Structure 1
Amino acid sequence: MAASILSACGLNEQKLPAFVHISEESDMDGSFLISCILGQRLRISNAGALLVCLQHNYQHYLNAGLRLGYNANIFLDKTLNIIDPLSAMARDGVNSQWLEDEEQITSLLLTAIREQIETNFTNRISTTILIDNLSILLNLGATKEQVMQLCQELANFPKEYQNLTVITKMSNCDINELVDNNVAKLGDIRIRVKKLKSGFFREVDGKLLVERDLDAGPYKTEETHKEILYKVNDRFVKIHNPGEVGIKI
Structure 2
Amino acid sequence: MRQFLLALLAVIPALAFASESDIPLDEAKVDLHNKASLQRGAQLFMNYCLGCHSLKYQRYNQTFEDLGIPEELGQKYLQFTGHKKGDLITNNMPAEEAGKWFGNPPPDLTNVIRVRGKDWVYTYLRSFYVDDSRPWGVNNVVFPNVGMPHVLQELQGVPTKAYEERMVDGEMKDVYVGLKSDGSGRLSPSEYDQATLDITNFLVYMAEPMKLEQRRIGWYVFGFLLVFTILAWLLKKEFWKDLK
User: TM-score, structure 2 length as denominator?
Assistant: 0.28
Looking at both structures, which has the greater relative contact order when contacts are Cα pairs under 8 Å and sequence separation is at least 6? 1
Q: Which has the larger share of helix?
A: 2
User: TM-score, structure 1 length as denominator?
Assistant: 0.28
Bigger Cα Rg = 2
